[in-house]
Amino acid sequence: MNRLDQISLGKIVVIREKLLKAQRDGKKIYRFESGDPSFAIYPDIKVAMNKALNEDKTHYIPNNGIPELRDALANKLKLQNKLNIDSKHISVTNGAMHALYVLYQCIVESGDEVIVPDPMWTEAVENARLAGAKTIGVELKPEYNYVYRAEDIEAKITSKTKVIFINSPQNPTGAIIPKAELQKIADLAVKHNFWLVSDEAYEHVLFDGGEHTSIGSLIPDYDKVISVYSYSKSYAMSGLRLGYFACRNELFNDRAGKLLRCTVNGINSVSQWGAVTALANPDSWYTEMNKEYLKRRNLFLEALSGQDILIPYIPHGAFYLWCRVKDGIDVAALSEAMAQAGIGNAPGDCFGECASTVQSIRFAFSCSTEMILEGTEPLRKFLSNYK
């Protein structure tokens, strides 16, 4: 059997396609299923990309990214993430999803095990499976605020374990792993000589004093940490498909360079010039976005007050609302009924297999504030009438 035959198209994709079809047919749809920032990209980024076009910067470029961008990323990683990474150890990718595809192909063999959170963003798991690995889920427990804990990870270690994958702030829960817990996970990886893959796509999407720590900064001499980042969330550049990873391991970088050559041979040059300018913009850009996300989150929480079908976890990062569904209620039926009512959502089994995951549902508040204001009232009415 081909490996791709073991990979699903993705339930969220299927749900999205159904909602988009209903929208094309004239039905009012509230896009609470998709994590695509509603904001326009910063004006200076558009200017930089237009400048690159006008200067004919549209030809082949270095395989791992233009030097100007990799130098700027090295400076960003040093100042913001406390990672001392030389620009030669940074590679630009076609979004963070492509980064995950490349890195797993470089570090796992068939039969290796990758420990992952459950629930977890689907593509983070399936890219490991595409490389021939088996993913081992660690339940994120509601009683521990969905924090990925070192002791739960350790209980899943076997002789086949090769990688620990982390994602903080997390999709779909919005939980942030505290620095002390990250240190325990880092120490565990070093002890067993595991690879650590750290998906930090939501590093700048933080609320209520939430703080992000890059796990690589806690073990600066360990070269088997691969830190993954995205321009989609911090800079609302989701359609421009820009991500990057950083790792000081020489063998990894040798392998990654080969795979980048064979898959993309250089990411869109114009987008990269825009990405250079994005890093030069003040932090206030995503600070302002976060203020709006916080407003949207609170509107959602207000809409869910006074009912007992959905029990929301209050996220301190990312832009998702993860809700436990009342015991005895069929989540699949609830999700379908919501979709039929035009209310986008993603049922828990999109994200994992643990019982608490399956008995949950996710909403995204990355759509416009206007849509949140308009859509939360139908959601409130739906829940009050649902039986």
Note the pLDDT tens digit of each residue in 65-102: 999 999 999 999 999 999 999 999 999 999 999 999 99
- What is the percent of the chain with per-residue pLDDT over 90, rounded to a whole number? 84
Are 131 and 274 part of one and the same domain?
yes
191 backbone dihedrals φ, ψ, rounded to 5°: -55, -40
The tokens for 333 are 């039926």
Q: Which amino acid, one-letter code, is at 61?
A: I
d(CA 163, CA 225) in angstroms, rounded, equals 10
Domain of 24, in residue numbers: 3-41+284-385
Q: Are residues 126 and 266 in the same domain?
A: yes
Task: Please choose, from the candidates 232, 278, 234, the residue with its C-alpha nearest in 3D space to the C-alpha of residue 44.
Answer: 278
| Alpha carbons within 13 A on the beta-carbon side of 302 | 11
Tokens of 96: 């963070």
Residue bearing tokens 């005895």:
328
Question: Cα–Cα distance between 248 and 86 in angstroms, integer?
Answer: 8
Nearest residue to 281 (alpha-carbon basis) of 48, 21, 121, 23: 48
Per-residue pLDDT at 287: 86
Alpha helices (runs of H) in the chain, residue ranges in sequence order: 11-24, 43-54, 67-80, 95-107, 122-130, 150-154, 179-192, 231-234, 250-263, 269-280, 284-303, 331-340, 355-358, 369-385
Domain-ending residue, one of 264, 280, 296: 280
Q: Is 259 helix (H, G, I), strand (E, B) or coil?
A: helix
DSSP of 53-118: HHTT--S---TT--HHHHHHHHHHHHHHS-----GGGEEEESHHHHHHHHHHHHH--TT-EEEEEE
Q: How confident is the model at residue 283 (pLDDT cuts 50, 70, 90)?
A: confident
Instruction: Give yes or no: residues 352 and 327 share one domain.
Output: yes
Q: Give ∠ CA 110-119-379 in degrees, rounded to 5.
A: 145
3-state helix, strand and coil shares in percent for the chain, rounded to the nearest 5: 45, 15, 40
- In the block, which residue shows the tokens 């690159």? 52
In the listed set 248, 280, 312, which residue is the last one of a domain according to the structure?
Answer: 280
* Cα separation, 286 vs 264, whole angstroms: 29
User: Are residues 148 and 179 located together in one domain of the fold?
Assistant: yes
Tokens of 134: 């088996």
| Domain at 107, CATH number | 3.40.640.10
Q: Do residues 250 and 297 both lie within one domain?
A: no
Considering 254, 280, 306, which residue would you say is the last residue of a domain? 280
pLDDT (mean) for 173-197: 98
Quick check: 349 and 11 in contact, CB under 8 A? yes
**Would you state the pLDDT for residue 303?**
93
Instruction: Tell me what the mean pLDDT of segment 52-57 comes to.
Output: 96
CA distance 17 to 24: 10
- What is the mean predicted confidence (pLDDT) over 181-193? 98
Residues 154, 300, single domain; the answer is no
Asked if 252 and 338 sit in the same domain, the reply is no
pLDDT of residue 46: 95
User: Do 346 and 294 belong together in one domain?
Assistant: yes
Residues in the chain: 387
pLDDT per residue over 118-149, tens digit each?
999 988 999 999 999 999 999 999 999 999 99
Check: CB of residue 157 under 8 Å from CB of residue 192: yes
| pLDDT digit string, tens, across residues 210-240 | 999 999 999 999 999 999 999 999 898 899 9
Same domain flag for 196 and 339: no
Kindly report the average pLDDT of the chain as a whole number. Answer: 94
Q: Residue 10 belongs to a domain with what CATH number? A: 3.90.1150.10
| Total tally of structural domains belonging to the chain | 2
Q: Which two tokens stand for residue 172?
A: 């779909």
Total Cβ atoms within 10 A of residue 364: 24
Binned at pLDDT 50, 70 and 90, residue 258 comes out as very high
**Whether residue 282 has pLDDT greater than 80:** no
- 170 and 63, same structural domain? yes
Both 190 and 70 in one domain: the answer is yes
Pair (243, 316) in one structural domain? no
> Cβ of 204: how many Cβ atoms within 10 Å?
20
Give per-residue pLDDT as tens, 343-356.
999 999 999 999 99
